[in-house]
Chain A
Amino acid sequence: MATNPMHQFEVYRIGPEIKIGAIDISFTNASLFMVISSFAILLVFNLGSKKNSVIPNKMQLLAELSYTFVSKMISDTAGSKAKPYFAFIFSIFMFVLFCNMFGMIPYTFTVTSHIIVTFMLAAFIFIGVTIIGFIKHGVGYLKLFVPSGVPVVLLPLIVVIEIISYLSRPISLSVRLFANMMAGHTMMKVFGGFVISLGIIGGWLPLSFSVALTGLEILVAFLQAYVFAILTCIYLNDALNLHH
């Protein structure tokens, strides 16, 4: 059972079974790591914002660098109109980043390797962005599906393609993160299994692969959080500044 690379993604109940009506909302290992990630984020940024010295200490520097990093990312991709959504994008970025990074610790659970979690985040972003678009532009938001400068003959086809691409946004956003995390963790587990099965003579090559993969996975963990946040910014930009 331990050599099964998919075993690490299994969700199991921690503590008693909690049910509201017929719905099971028990506290699981996934819930545990969501709570740990959120708590870690709050701890780091609370420590980083407590003191305000002109020359920041390490925690303060970390918090302020993250703040300016996300702030710059938003203003670069979505402009100054996206300022009110800064806190949301910052939370999304930090949540995904911390969940990914906690997943890199051995024997932990990677929250973002579950399609339902990433899909919920992506669906929330998709619905939110669509609502913002309709509030800002009214029915004019539908112009997003009609690119300017397209010949009239091609227009029906283009509109259909645009609508499909728009509707597939939450799926692509969620599957990208979920697949990256799952593939990486599975691969690491597989190579870890090779080390055991090939023993002391043949195990060195998969072990070195495993070490290299760990570095790569940490990079992917950061990169996927960044991609998730920046795609959110791009979708928000479409809703706020309607020029296709």
Chain B
Amino acid sequence: MIKKIFFQTIFLSFLFLIKTFAAESGGMPQLNPEFWVSQIFWLTITFGILYVVLSKLILPKISNNLEVRKSKILENIEAAEKQRKDSEEKIKEYNKIIQDNKIKAKNYYNQAREKILKDINKKKESLDSDLNEEIKKAELEIQDLKNKSPEKITKIAIETSNDLIKQLIGVEVNNSSISAIVEDLSKRKKSEYYGN
């Protein structure tokens, strides 16, 4: 209800206003030719000046600015592209250097390893030969000693038996007779003592 009244008031006041406007105004001021010539005159002047200044001074500047920006951007893009290529090449070079150095390092390692192995082998061999010599020497000595031992034993046996006889019977026995007996015995028992 209130809404209805509200809209009706608006409508009525609209009608009222239109009536008053119609009464007050003498038509459209646009159709009053009093200032037409003046408007045409000033329009020509202002628009003329606007056109001349824009077309001769300002628009060429703006278009020049746009061109310069375009070319600058293109240049920058080109430079960036070039730098990208350069950096890619440098990365390739870098990788190559690293690869080369890796190979070199491996070679060095292998060489050093071989050298060391060789040294070790050499030293081992020389050591082996030394040891062998020593062993041979020792063997020879042993053999020598072995060969010499029966004579000494015989000698000792003669002396001992001489001493024993002296102690037992108190008689000096001739050395030569004792040695003959000992030699006879040792000859007979040699295989038993030495296993030859």
Contact = CB atoms under 8 A, between A and B. Distances in A.
Interface residues of A, number: 61
Given A11-B39, A31-B38, A202-B6, A194 B17 contact: yes
Contact of B50 (A11, A42, A178, A198): A42
A118 to B, nearest CB: 10
B131 interface: no
A49 B66 CA distance: 10
Nearest to B73: A54
Contacts of B63: 67
Interface residues of B, number: 47
| B-side interface mostly | helix
A79 interface: no
Contacts of B34: 11, 24
Contacts, number: 153
Interface in A20-55: 23-28, 30-31, 34-35, 37-38, 41-42, 45-46, 48-49, 52, 54
Interface string A179-204: 00010000000100110011000100
A10 B30 CA distance: 7
19 contacts: A10-B29, A28-B38, A30-B35, A30-B39, A34-B43, A34-B46, A35-B42, A37-B46, A41-B50, A41-B54, A46-B58, A52-B68, A60-B65, A86-B59, A87-B54, A91-B47, A95-B50, A198-B10, A202-B10
Interface of A: 1, 3-7, 9-11, 13, 23-28, 30-31, 34-35, 37-38, 41-42, 45-46, 48-49, 52, 54, 56, 60, 63-64, 67-68, 86-88, 90-91, 94-95, 111, 113-117, 120-121, 178, 182, 190, 193-194, 197-198, 202, 205-206
